[in-house]
Amino acid sequence: MADQVVVLGGWGVDTDVLRPVFGDDARYIDTTALLPHLVTCNTIHPDWPVITARILEPYRSPGFVLAGWSTGALLAYGAAPFLSPSRLQLASATLSFCRTASFRHGMRPSVIAAMKYRLKSTPQNVLDEFSVNCGFPEKTSQKKNIRNTTALVDGLTFLEQAQLGAQPVPECRITMLHGNRDRIIPPEAGRIMSSHCGAGFTLLEGPHACFINNIEKMKTILATK
Protein backbone atom coordinates (compact mmCIF):
# COMPACT_ATOMS: atom_id res chain seq x y z
CA MET A 1 0.00 0.00 0.00
CA ALA A 2 1.38 3.39 -0.99
CA ASP A 3 2.11 5.94 1.72
CA GLN A 4 -0.50 8.68 2.18
CA VAL A 5 0.58 11.91 0.48
CA VAL A 6 -0.38 15.34 1.84
CA VAL A 7 -0.04 18.07 -0.79
CA LEU A 8 0.16 21.84 -0.29
CA GLY A 9 -0.52 23.93 -3.36
CA GLY A 10 0.65 27.33 -4.53
CA TRP A 11 -0.59 30.85 -3.86
CA GLY A 12 -3.75 31.79 -5.78
CA VAL A 13 -3.89 28.59 -7.84
CA ASP A 14 -6.28 25.67 -7.36
CA THR A 15 -4.44 22.83 -5.65
CA ASP A 16 -6.17 20.42 -8.02
CA VAL A 17 -3.62 21.33 -10.70
CA LEU A 18 -1.32 18.92 -8.81
CA ARG A 19 -3.81 16.03 -8.90
CA PRO A 20 -2.35 14.54 -12.13
CA VAL A 21 1.00 14.15 -10.32
CA PHE A 22 -0.11 12.93 -6.88
CA GLY A 23 -3.39 11.22 -7.75
CA ASP A 24 -6.89 11.12 -6.32
CA ASP A 25 -5.86 9.39 -3.10
CA ALA A 26 -3.65 12.25 -1.91
CA ARG A 27 -4.94 14.86 0.55
CA TYR A 28 -4.92 18.36 -0.93
CA ILE A 29 -4.58 21.42 1.31
CA ASP A 30 -5.96 24.84 0.32
CA THR A 31 -2.86 26.95 0.92
CA THR A 32 -4.72 30.23 0.44
CA ALA A 33 -6.98 29.36 3.37
CA LEU A 34 -4.02 28.28 5.54
CA LEU A 35 -1.84 31.37 5.10
CA PRO A 36 -3.95 33.88 7.13
CA HIS A 37 -3.22 31.77 10.23
CA LEU A 38 0.45 32.64 9.82
CA VAL A 39 0.18 36.42 9.48
CA THR A 40 -1.05 39.13 11.86
CA CYS A 41 -0.98 42.88 11.24
CA ASN A 42 1.11 42.46 8.10
CA THR A 43 3.75 40.50 10.01
CA ILE A 44 4.57 36.81 9.78
CA HIS A 45 4.41 34.87 13.04
CA PRO A 46 7.95 33.88 14.11
CA ASP A 47 6.66 30.39 14.91
CA TRP A 48 4.83 29.94 11.60
CA PRO A 49 6.39 26.47 11.01
CA VAL A 50 4.87 25.21 14.28
CA ILE A 51 1.48 26.76 13.46
CA THR A 52 1.56 25.15 10.02
CA ALA A 53 2.43 21.79 11.55
CA ARG A 54 -0.51 22.05 13.96
CA ILE A 55 -2.88 22.74 11.07
CA LEU A 56 -1.52 19.74 9.15
CA GLU A 57 -1.44 17.38 12.14
CA PRO A 58 -4.91 15.89 11.43
CA TYR A 59 -3.68 14.77 8.00
CA ARG A 60 -0.62 13.04 9.40
CA SER A 61 -0.41 9.23 9.28
CA PRO A 62 2.39 6.64 9.75
CA GLY A 63 4.89 6.86 6.91
CA PHE A 64 3.09 9.75 5.24
CA VAL A 65 4.73 11.85 2.52
CA LEU A 66 4.59 15.66 2.67
CA ALA A 67 4.64 17.47 -0.67
CA GLY A 68 4.37 21.07 -1.80
CA TRP A 69 4.63 23.27 -4.85
CA SER A 70 5.78 26.92 -4.80
CA THR A 71 4.35 28.57 -1.65
CA GLY A 72 3.25 25.12 -0.54
CA ALA A 73 6.84 23.91 -0.82
CA LEU A 74 8.00 26.60 1.62
CA LEU A 75 5.24 25.67 4.05
CA ALA A 76 5.98 21.96 3.76
CA TYR A 77 9.69 22.46 4.38
CA GLY A 78 9.09 24.64 7.44
CA ALA A 79 6.55 22.27 8.98
CA ALA A 80 8.34 18.99 8.18
CA PRO A 81 10.66 18.92 11.25
CA PHE A 82 7.57 19.02 13.48
CA LEU A 83 5.62 16.38 11.54
CA SER A 84 8.35 13.83 10.76
CA PRO A 85 7.19 12.72 7.30
CA SER A 86 8.92 9.75 5.70
CA ARG A 87 9.73 11.87 2.66
CA LEU A 88 9.52 15.50 1.61
CA GLN A 89 8.78 16.29 -2.04
CA LEU A 90 9.18 19.90 -3.15
CA ALA A 91 8.52 21.51 -6.52
CA SER A 92 9.66 25.06 -7.34
CA ALA A 93 11.05 25.69 -3.85
CA THR A 94 13.40 28.34 -2.46
CA LEU A 95 14.92 29.40 0.84
CA SER A 96 13.69 32.97 0.26
CA PHE A 97 10.97 34.04 -2.17
CA CYS A 98 12.19 37.65 -2.18
CA ARG A 99 15.65 39.05 -2.73
CA THR A 100 17.64 40.05 0.31
CA ALA A 101 21.04 41.60 0.86
CA SER A 102 22.57 38.10 1.01
CA PHE A 103 20.27 36.30 -1.44
CA ARG A 104 19.96 37.64 -4.98
CA HIS A 105 17.90 34.88 -6.58
CA GLY A 106 14.45 35.97 -5.45
CA MET A 107 11.73 38.32 -6.62
CA ARG A 108 12.08 42.03 -6.00
CA PRO A 109 10.06 43.09 -2.93
CA SER A 110 8.64 45.98 -4.97
CA VAL A 111 6.85 43.46 -7.22
CA ILE A 112 5.10 41.93 -4.20
CA ALA A 113 4.18 45.39 -2.91
CA ALA A 114 2.61 46.25 -6.28
CA MET A 115 0.63 42.99 -6.31
CA LYS A 116 -0.71 43.76 -2.83
CA TYR A 117 -1.84 47.21 -3.94
CA ARG A 118 -3.53 45.93 -7.09
CA LEU A 119 -5.35 43.16 -5.21
CA LYS A 120 -7.49 45.88 -3.62
CA SER A 121 -9.02 46.94 -6.93
CA THR A 122 -8.39 44.24 -9.56
CA PRO A 123 -7.82 40.94 -7.75
CA GLN A 124 -8.79 38.70 -10.66
CA ASN A 125 -6.33 40.48 -12.95
CA VAL A 126 -3.54 39.89 -10.42
CA LEU A 127 -4.41 36.20 -10.14
CA ASP A 128 -4.69 35.76 -13.89
CA GLU A 129 -1.35 37.46 -14.56
CA PHE A 130 0.32 35.33 -11.91
CA SER A 131 -1.18 32.21 -13.45
CA VAL A 132 0.23 33.14 -16.86
CA ASN A 133 3.66 33.82 -15.33
CA CYS A 134 3.51 30.37 -13.73
CA GLY A 135 3.29 28.97 -17.25
CA PHE A 136 -0.24 27.63 -17.28
CA PRO A 137 -1.70 27.34 -20.79
CA GLU A 138 -4.97 28.83 -19.55
CA LYS A 139 -6.00 31.04 -16.68
CA THR A 140 -6.26 28.58 -13.81
CA SER A 141 -6.41 30.86 -10.78
CA GLN A 142 -9.22 30.24 -8.33
CA LYS A 143 -12.06 32.68 -8.85
CA LYS A 144 -13.30 31.83 -5.36
CA ASN A 145 -10.14 33.45 -3.99
CA ILE A 146 -11.21 36.91 -5.11
CA ARG A 147 -13.88 36.81 -2.41
CA ASN A 148 -11.12 36.92 0.18
CA THR A 149 -8.42 39.32 -0.93
CA THR A 150 -7.25 39.58 2.68
CA ALA A 151 -6.09 35.95 2.54
CA LEU A 152 -4.28 36.64 -0.73
CA VAL A 153 -2.54 39.67 0.76
CA ASP A 154 -1.56 37.64 3.82
CA GLY A 155 -0.08 35.05 1.48
CA LEU A 156 2.07 37.69 -0.19
CA THR A 157 3.18 38.93 3.23
CA PHE A 158 4.26 35.40 4.05
CA LEU A 159 6.28 35.24 0.83
CA GLU A 160 7.85 38.63 1.58
CA GLN A 161 9.05 37.65 5.02
CA ALA A 162 9.54 33.87 5.22
CA GLN A 163 13.19 32.82 5.44
CA LEU A 164 13.90 29.10 5.45
CA GLY A 165 17.68 29.27 5.79
CA ALA A 166 17.49 29.53 9.58
CA GLN A 167 14.85 26.80 9.92
CA PRO A 168 15.81 23.25 10.99
CA VAL A 169 16.64 20.96 8.08
CA PRO A 170 14.04 18.15 7.92
CA GLU A 171 15.47 14.76 8.88
CA CYS A 172 13.99 12.80 5.99
CA ARG A 173 14.70 12.14 2.34
CA ILE A 174 14.07 15.35 0.36
CA THR A 175 13.39 15.41 -3.37
CA MET A 176 13.32 18.72 -5.23
CA LEU A 177 12.19 19.49 -8.77
CA HIS A 178 12.41 22.79 -10.60
CA GLY A 179 11.57 24.17 -14.04
CA ASN A 180 14.47 25.51 -16.10
CA ARG A 181 12.26 28.37 -17.37
CA ASP A 182 10.86 29.39 -13.98
CA ARG A 183 9.98 33.12 -14.05
CA ILE A 184 8.78 33.20 -10.45
CA ILE A 185 11.55 31.37 -8.55
CA PRO A 186 14.81 31.13 -10.54
CA PRO A 187 16.26 27.62 -10.93
CA GLU A 188 19.42 28.77 -9.17
CA ALA A 189 17.35 29.41 -6.05
CA GLY A 190 16.30 25.78 -6.12
CA ARG A 191 19.89 24.59 -6.56
CA ILE A 192 21.02 26.66 -3.59
CA MET A 193 18.23 25.23 -1.43
CA SER A 194 19.03 21.66 -2.48
CA SER A 195 22.66 22.15 -1.47
CA HIS A 196 21.58 23.67 1.83
CA CYS A 197 19.35 20.75 2.82
CA GLY A 198 21.07 17.89 0.99
CA ALA A 199 18.13 17.23 -1.31
CA GLY A 200 18.12 15.39 -4.60
CA PHE A 201 17.57 18.01 -7.30
CA THR A 202 16.12 17.51 -10.79
CA LEU A 203 15.87 20.30 -13.35
CA LEU A 204 12.91 19.82 -15.67
CA GLU A 205 12.11 21.43 -19.00
CA GLY A 206 9.33 23.72 -17.88
CA PRO A 207 8.09 26.92 -16.19
CA HIS A 208 7.28 27.65 -12.54
CA ALA A 209 4.46 25.12 -12.84
CA CYS A 210 7.15 22.57 -13.63
CA PHE A 211 4.69 19.68 -13.70
CA ILE A 212 3.25 20.94 -17.00
CA ASN A 213 4.19 18.37 -19.67
CA ASN A 214 6.26 16.52 -17.03
CA ILE A 215 3.59 14.48 -15.26
CA GLU A 216 4.96 11.01 -15.97
CA LYS A 217 8.57 12.06 -15.40
CA MET A 218 7.66 13.56 -12.02
CA LYS A 219 5.71 10.47 -11.02
CA THR A 220 8.74 8.31 -11.77
CA ILE A 221 11.13 10.55 -9.82
CA LEU A 222 8.82 10.92 -6.81
CA ALA A 223 8.04 7.19 -6.69
CA THR A 224 11.70 6.35 -6.13
CA LYS A 225 12.16 5.37 -2.50
Between CA 137 and CA 167 the distance in angstroms is 35
Helix count (H) and strand count (E) of the chain? 9, 8
Q: What is the pLDDT of residues 149-185, one digit of tens each?
A: 899 999 999 999 999 999 999 999 999 999 999 999 9
The residue among 121, 11, 128, 22 whose CA lies nearest residue 67 is 22
Question: pTM of the entire structure?
Answer: 0.94
- H-type alpha helices, the chain: 19-22, 31-34, 48-56, 71-83, 109-119, 123-134, 149-161, 187-197, 215-223
On whether the CB atoms of residues 84 and 61 are closer than 8 A, the answer is no
- 5-223 sits in which CATH class? alpha beta
Q: What is the pLDDT of residues 97-144, one digit of tens each?
A: 999 888 888 889 999 999 999 998 999 899 989 999 999 976 555 555
Amino acid at 137: P
Residue 138 is given by DSSP the state S
The residue among 117, 200, 100, 198 whose CA lies nearest residue 156 is 117
Between CA 90 and CA 69 the distance in angstroms is 6
